[in-house]
Chain A
Amino acid sequence: MDNLKTYAEITWCKGCGNFGIFTALRNAIPKLEEKGIKREDIVMTAGIGCHAKIFDYLNLSGLYGLHGRNSSNSEGMKIANPDLKVITFSGDGNGLGEGLAHTIFAAKRNQEMTMILHNNSVYALTTGQFSPLAEKGWKGPSTPRGSFETPFNPLSLMLEVGATFIARAFAGEIKHLTEILVQAIQHEGFSFIEVLQPAVPYHSWSEYNEKIEFLENEPVTYEEAMKAAKNKHKFTLGVFYRAQKPVYHNGLYGVHNPLTKRLSRSERITKIKEILFG
């Protein structure tokens, strides 16, 4: 099981954008190790969908959760043991459809975790229905006359609700994606990376390749970030925002670790007796 791969048979379509994310993440881990992050401290969660298959392929510890609920699983991990580095993989249907509330709240709380949003703009595994990021007019089996809903803008949305590291990357730009992953996982706070990822039965690489461009300058202020997130077209890559803000677990219990600093049974019993018998 070298190279962070398990023995699991990979069942993504040939040419799927998910391979790029898989490769970039496997490149990012050794770089993080060089920076002092221990591999065993990294835990992951995934929802359900094509994105989530990465859970079986990556030889890392974690929890393969329910559709849309994986960011809650991640929050629970971080709250219980804040020493862990938590990564959550999500598709756009998973994280912005079924799990939208959880994604928004994790960002609102500035939970120290990284959400990698595999944006293929389609419900791929369930045969091509429109998704929260599908463009207007998408014809899938549930919208035979074309979707008439306007897609979310995931970057301005995450900016608005409180994420403190926001970036967009592309599964075809592995070096750039790797670098962004390294920065996001190191970030102290909620980091969100939208990764453009062609699902080849539904979208071709050329649709992406011809439009991809990079942010010239990283925005400095929140206002600049919001402006860039709203005005730049949705194939613009780069870090849109980064800020330092208090993280959730410190607000909840200060400098503490409920798991590694748990009270012994006898300490608890003594305190309970104090409460009941004075």
Chain B
Amino acid sequence: MVNDVFTFLVGGKAGEGVKKAGSVAAHIFSSMGQRVFQMDDYMSLIRGGHNFSIVSASTRWITSHYMKADLLVNFDKRSCETHINDVADGGIIIYNSDEQEDVVGVGIPFSSEAEKYPMKNLMYGVGAVAILAAAIGFKKEQMNQSIKNQYPRGIEDNIKFANSIYDMVKGGCQGKFLLSKGERERPIITGNEAISLGAIAGGLDTYFGYPMTPASSILHFLAKQAENFGLAVVHAESELAVINMAIGSAFTGARSMVGTSGGGFALMTEGISLAGITETPILCVLSMRPGPATGVPTYTEQADLSFALSAGHGDFLRIIASPGTMEEAYYLTAELLDLVWKFQTPGILLTEKHLSECSMTIDIDIDKAKWAKPKMHQGGNYKRYLDAEDGISPMLFPPSKEVIKWNSYEHDEFGVTTENAEMIAKMHDKRNKKLKALVEYLKSQYTVNIIRGEMTTNLFAYGSTYMSVLEALRYGELNPTIVQPIFLSPLPIWELEEFKNQDNIVIEQSSTGQFTALLNEKAGIKIRSTIKKYDGRPFDPIELSKKIKEVLK
């Protein structure tokens, strides 16, 4: 075992229940009071290929999976060969003895055993759960209960299959990994679920989306919850439609959100610009995957930061922030929804596949979420773009006896198109005043997460890379100061001032170092070195701690 962490890996073909087995394992650990972090690695296909799920568990806070696993269940030869070097000291490999021999590990005839049931290889995942149950010393009754709860379809066959696998693996690994119990059970959620729930808590009324990994699961989760929360959740014909529907919906006063990844976001940018000039409160979730173009759809990267910072033509205020943890994803989504309504401008919640699709146990204060509330018109003649002192014009929504005009052309205060030189400049000034107001507001908010350490070096990371860094430092027993800017636009330079000329290292998932450039250009922070990873995979804590140690020397 790696320190105090137990890691379970299950690998096989798409369709064999790999991810489900991972999530059942995570629920088993959390029911024991353990904290878990689950990462699913899957290919862009429906059936076949090679997928794996890794679940790391510990009695302390854990913020990353570990690639070195203690128990590895491989449904096929390909999985076994792929993960042969991913075994931790003292770890056990389970392989499919119908497909291969001569593996140092425990062979299970998955294929011939599953052949006895109508669901065949669709049952492999249940087999993985049975192996885990035996390895962590579960009695059969405990295992059967878990399977009943987690696999509602074909319960009888599943239990029969699990019991036979349990008996086969008993000799090899029964009770090999007895895990200690933690203090209490915690809920497990994915980053996208945290984002969705945060949006709902913050006042979401309408969500528009077009399927694109890794943002699709927001659309799916919200569509499933639409009736429960009285939301309108729409799968539209394109991201162009998505953003423009959301803007139309915001015009009526509905708190609206959209979600996508880089390619879809590229299509949305004309709408982001429209939101800029019409002063539409709109929140966009941009979950990054490796680009350019189609890139690598089901993997992770942080290379759309620069794009997000300047998304949409023209001068206007964009609010961009990135959550470091699942809990923060919940709070921040509600906070951004509030901010875009306070300041009537587009906002982007920047995240990555790694946060969107990983799941973990959370410690969360649901009541802490903000509630989106705009400044409202207080009666009298209405002017949509009233030149207020802070640039924020009061809002009013139809139906109203007053006429409310939102305009994509440059406009006067009432909202009618203008080409008047004085008015054009005045409206630019009005909108630009909002930046000043926003910065003043943010100065009283929690915008940068700083964890003070004892070393003289500071590590900068944003988004889910923050979680990888935390785990790497725990593994490597290092304690530099960690600086995680939650807000990226406007960048809270008032919080970063002190670090300018100190010894600074950046850790990010971009091949050109976009975050490094932002810190340097906007906050004048001198960066000694950047640790980059851009192979689509998230950092592994062991590998990352080695790199950090090298740089710290």
B232 surroundings in chain A (CB, below 8 A): 79-80, 249, 252-253, 258
Q: Is A128 an interface residue (CB 8 A)?
A: no
Which residues between 221 and 237 of chain B lie within 8 Å of chain A, taking CB atoms?
225-232, 234, 236-237
Closest B residue to A68 by beta carbon equals B240
Which residues between 72 and 90 of chain A lie within 8 Å of chain B, taking CB atoms?
72-77, 79-81, 83-84
The contact string, 1 if C-beta is below 8 Å from chain B, for chain A 39-59, is 011010100100001011001
Distance in angstroms between the alpha carbons of A131 and B226 in the assembled complex: 41
B244 surroundings in chain A (CB, below 8 A): 65-66, 69-70, 72-73, 76, 102
Q: Is B124 an interface residue (CB 8 A)?
A: no
- Assess the B251–A63 pair: CB atoms within 8 A: yes
Known contacts being A62-B406, A101-B241, is A7 close to B416, with CB within 8 Å? yes
Q: How far is the CB of A191 from chain B (nearest CB, A)?
A: 18
9-residue interface stretch from B150-158, B195-203, B340-348, B483-491: B195-203
Which residues between 390 and 420 of chain B lie within 8 Å of chain A, taking CB atoms?
398-409, 414-417
Cβ-neighbour of B364 out of A43, A62, A70, A276 (below 8 A): A276
Distance in angstroms between the alpha carbons of A269 and B187 in the assembled complex: 16
- Assess the A61–B403 pair: CB atoms within 8 A: yes
A204 surroundings in chain B (CB, below 8 A): none
- Assess the A80–B206 pair: CB atoms within 8 A: yes
- Assess the B237–A61 pair: CB atoms within 8 A: no
- Assess the B247–A80 pair: CB atoms within 8 A: no
Cβ-neighbour of A64 out of B187, B201, B405 (below 8 A): B405
The contact string, 1 if C-beta is below 8 Å from chain B, for chain A 85-119, is 00000000000000001100100000000000000
Known contacts being A59-B403, A259-B205, is A265 close to B371, with CB within 8 Å? yes
Q: Is B424 an interface residue (CB 8 A)?
A: no
9-residue interface stretch from B252-260, B454-462, B543-551: B252-260
A79 surroundings in chain B (CB, below 8 A): 206, 232, 234, 245, 249
Q: Is B189 an interface residue (CB 8 A)?
A: yes
Distance in angstroms between the alpha carbons of A81 and B237 in the assembled complex: 20
Known contacts being A79-B234, A84-B399, A268-B201, is A65 close to B252, with CB within 8 Å? no
Q: Is B49 an interface residue (CB 8 A)?
A: no
B356 surroundings in chain A (CB, below 8 A): none
- Assess the A77–B249 pair: CB atoms within 8 A: yes
Interface residues of B (CB under 8 A from A): 187, 189, 197, 200-201, 203, 205-206, 208, 225-232, 234, 236-238, 240-241, 244-254, 256, 270-271, 274, 278, 362, 364, 366-367, 369, 371, 398-409, 414-417
- Assess the B241–A72 pair: CB atoms within 8 A: yes
Interface residues of A (CB under 8 A from B): 1, 6-8, 38, 40-41, 43, 45, 48, 53, 55-56, 59-66, 69-70, 72-77, 79-81, 83-84, 101-102, 105, 249, 252-253, 256, 258-259, 261-263, 265, 268-269, 271-273, 275-277
- Assess the A84–B398 pair: CB atoms within 8 A: yes
Distance in angstroms between the alpha carbons of A1 and B364 in the assembled complex: 54
Q: How far is the CB of A162 from chain B (nearest CB, A)?
A: 13
Q: How far is the CB of A6 from chain B (nearest CB, A)?
A: 6
Distance in angstroms between the alpha carbons of A244 and B371 in the assembled complex: 40
- Assess the A66–B408 pair: CB atoms within 8 A: yes
Cβ-neighbour of A76 out of B206, B270, B417 (below 8 A): B206
- Assess the A76–B274 pair: CB atoms within 8 A: no
Cβ-neighbour of B230 out of A76, A263, A265 (below 8 A): A263
Known contacts being A79-B245, A269-B366, A269-B367, is A259 close to B200, with CB within 8 Å? no
Distance in angstroms between the alpha carbons of A55 and B249 in the assembled complex: 18
A sample of 22 cross-chain residue pairs with beta-carbon separation below 8 angstroms, ordered by A number, consists of A63-B278, A63-B406, A63-B407, A63-B408, A65-B248, A65-B408, A66-B274, A69-B244, A79-B206, A79-B249, A80-B254, A102-B237, A105-B241, A253-B227, A262-B230, A268-B200, A271-B228, A272-B197, A272-B200, A272-B201, A272-B366, A276-B362
Closest A residue to B205 by beta carbon equals A258
Q: How far is the CB of A268 from chain B (nearest CB, A)?
A: 6
- Assess the A61–B404 pair: CB atoms within 8 A: yes
